[in-house]
Amino acid sequence: MFRKLLKWILGLGLVMLVVLVFCFGYCWYLSGHIEERFSGRRWEIPSTIYSDTTLLFPGKQVSRLALEKKLKKLGYQAKPRSPEEKGEYHPVDTGLEVFFKDLQIPDKDRPGFSAVLEIGQGQIREIRRTGADKRLPLVELGPEVLMEFFGKERELRRVVSIETIPEHLADAVIAAEDNRFYSHFGVDPIGILRAMYTNLRHLSIRQGGSTLTQQLAKNYFLTPERTFRRKFHELFITLAIEANYSKDEILEIYLNEIYMGQKGSAAIHGVGEAAYFYFGKKVENLTLAESAMIAGIIKSPNVLSPYTHPEECKDRRDQVLRAMHEQQFITEQQLSMALEDPIKTAGFEKYSRRAPYFMDYVSQQLDSLYPEDILSSMGFSIYTTLDTEVQAAAENALKNGLARLEKSIPDLRRDDPEKKLQGAVVVMHPRTGNILAMVGGRNYANSQFNRITQARRQPGSCFKPIAVAALLDTFKPSDPLSNEKTTYQVNGKPWTPKNFGEFPGEKLSVRDMLRLSCNRAAVDMVVRGGPEKVVEQAENFNFSTPMRPYPSIALGAFEVIPLELARAYCAFAADGIQPFPLSVRDVVDENGNVLVQRHMDIHSVISPAKAFLITSMLESVVTDGTAGALTRQGITFPLAGKTGTTNDFRDTWFIGYTQDFLALVWVGFDNGDPVGTTGSGAALPIFAELVKSVPGQISHNSFTIPPGVVEKKVCRQSGELPVFLKCPETYEEFFLESNQPQKKCPVHGKDSVFKKAVDGVKNLFN
């Protein structure tokens, strides 16, 4: 009997030894995998694309309502009293009191501060610091989130370290989820027994016995399935984690991993992202009550969300606060004050892709730098040039403009979404090339084809200024051009250009040719000046589409990419300097290191003097030419522009610019159906609505006359220097210093008077 008992004990001991060896070995095996996982990149963090910042300065045109709307988009909260914390503002009779958030962008790290913005008569009058007589010349608002490169799990996360997590948040999580966290070894037998007792007493599941480490093991390494095999793995992973990492390290990983709710289709993970999602602030700035709320919703984020179940959320928060008091994390006074604190969320918009055509353009540029899996996992911050105010204005202007056209011309309506009337808008800063807005079509959901960057369309009369720029060494703005009906031989075939409408007189000056968009005069200039020079100038302007030296090049017969056409016009606004279209400013990794920094890429394509002459002539287009409707609509600031319409009204255009703002608008059908109106009737009203919607973007400064330009009075009929008291009509015109009038007017000069007298005598004898 004794031998049998001894044998049984030895056998049991051997089995236990084998089990212990197996457990130890399995834990050691798991430790290697856990170490490998934790020592590497722990989470896939989506890269975030941001808009440009917004500058506020005295004199900027903006309404208080528009500024409040902007602040709300940036997560600022309106308060009935003066703001006390960063991210708050208070409307007052004279403007706004704002406690600006910290600004952390590449090359700039500015702490938040409180200031008063006085706003009146549609503009910012003054900015001064609160409580100090210090006036500020400029304040910069942070960028808006435009898009995120999600991985397959679509997780949003901001990784925070244990040092930045406030003590009361860590205490709240421990009180709510695992009050013996710092005393157990990963599995808490006491907690399990307590949970079993509570559940049996209430005959329902009221408590769970899982520790924070067990929750971490389950969420980080295992699937949600409820099987014995999974629980077995969870146990050993828990023990391996506890054996290899300190409690603070485990808590830090847990607080960054835990699921905290849903933002549309994107999942919120970690307390860092939760702090922004629920309260619009950094985790280190959370109050005691806010920390308790975040800790409370861990139990069931969607059921206890303050956005969907505010009463249940408050009840759960109060439970956590009382648990913190019971466990002596907070005092009676702190408990009382926190219980009185109402839950005030930041509010949020469901994740949506903004400025989709621009985002596609940015993504294409980023694809050349980083693979998709890098962008969806490395947590880059990508700062762009997009101005969200201008983007919204461009989208609305295009939408409204196309609807007006279809209403006024019913033949333009199409039921098939793929065949509808289309349009496109791009807005740029002409000196830097920064793309402020891009709308590549009427509806991104129906068509992802970007008509700004991918379409090839005939520019029509919008190409005439480029032709003039090529020939300014030959022709002066006052030189007369032929408006007579003329037939040219092109490749052995006759071709006769036609005008849109009637133009009085047999001759027009170069300026009037652009002002009135006279086709015959434009072709006459190019034929006499040399179409080869125009092709050469087009190549210098970096058009990628091929062009031939035919007379029809004067009328924009060769296709261009709209973005390249806008870029060409930038040179006219920027003293002949053409920038590269810039959409991405900086790419920054999650540690704040700048990986890519795009600076302006510019080069000279024409002289400043020639650029000014083109601009001056295009100002005439707006003041009393084909774009004169802009003046009638109240747009009176210095503006240069050009309308464009192709044969059979297939493409309609307007391009307008100031010194610091350029917008191109195209309207047409993808299949080339006629629009039935001109650029001034289709595209120009869209431009007008756009610029009226963004008054703060327009500086109202006049174009500056550069060196190399002279101004002289000339005879309107001949374009030469006037003869004193003989030329009936004269005007002031700008010229290149190297190509200015040198001779007197031949029409009204001495030779002309003598010839007229002789002709008169001859007529008497005939």
Phi, psi of 393 (to 5 degrees): -65, -40
Q: Which of 563, 564, 562, 567 is nearest to 577 (CA)?
A: 567
d(CA 685, CA 409): 15
Token digits of residue 285: 């700035």
Q: Are 436 and 429 in contact (CB under 8 A)?
A: yes
- The DSSP result for 243-308, as a single string, is HHS-HHHHHHHHHHHSEEEEETTEEEEHHHHHHHHHHSS-GGG--HHHHHHHHHHTT-TTTS-TTT
Q: Which of 609, 606, 569 is nearest to 734 (CA)?
A: 609
Query: Angle at CA 318, nearest 5°, toward 82 and 79?
Result: 15
Interior/surface letters 587-605, b for 16+ CB within 10 angstroms, e for the rest? bbeeeeeeeeebeeebeeb
Q: Which of 50, 587, 42 is nearest to 270 (CA)?
A: 42
The residue annotated as part of the active site, out of 51, 114, 377, 461, is: 461
Q: Catalytic: 461?
A: yes
Place of tokens 């280190």: 284
Q: Catalytic: 604?
A: no
Sign of CA pseudo-dihedral 53, 58, 62, 64: positive
Mention every residue, 6+ apart, whose C-beta is less than 8 A from residue 582. Answer: 385, 432, 433, 434, 435, 598, 600, 601
The residue annotated as part of the active site, out of 155, 177, 395, 733, is: 177
d(CA 564, CA 542): 7
**Exposure on the CB side of residue 347, measured as CA atoms within 13 A:** 9
Q: Which of 674, 697, 468, 460 is nearest to 562 (CA)?
A: 460
Mention every residue, 6+ apart, whose C-beta is less than 8 A from residue 540. Answer: 605, 606
Mention every residue, 6+ apart, whose C-beta is less than 8 A from residue 23. Answer: 236
> CB 264: neighbour CB atoms within 10 A?
11
**Exposure on the CB side of residue 271, measured as CA atoms within 13 A:** 30
Residue 668 β-bridge partners: 422, 651
Q: Which of 345, 347, 353, 377 is nearest to 265 (CA)?
A: 353
Do β-strands 266-269 and 155-157 pair in parallel, antiparallel, or remain unpaired?
parallel
Token digits of residue 198: 């509570």
Q: Are 541 and 466 in contact (CB under 8 A)?
A: yes
Q: Are 734 and 612 in contact (CB under 8 A)?
A: yes
d(CA 329, CA 324): 5
Q: Exposed, middle or buried, 250 (CB in 10 Å: 0-12/13-18/19+)?
A: buried
Amino acid letter, residue 653: W
Q: Are 452 and 426 in contact (CB under 8 A)?
A: yes
Token digits of residue 44: 């896939």
d(CA 465, CA 526): 12
Mention every residue, 6+ apart, whose C-beta is less than 8 A from residue 156. Answer: 46, 148, 263, 266, 267, 268, 269, 273, 277
d(CA 422, CA 399): 10
Query: Angle at CA 665, nearest 5°, toward 660 and 669?
Result: 165
Give the SS3 label for residue 480.
strand
Place of tokens 């015959």: 520
Q: Are 171 and 294 in contact (CB under 8 A)?
A: no
Amino acid letter, residue 62: V
Token digits of residue 469: 């720029």
DSSP state of 410: G
Catalytic residues: 177, 461
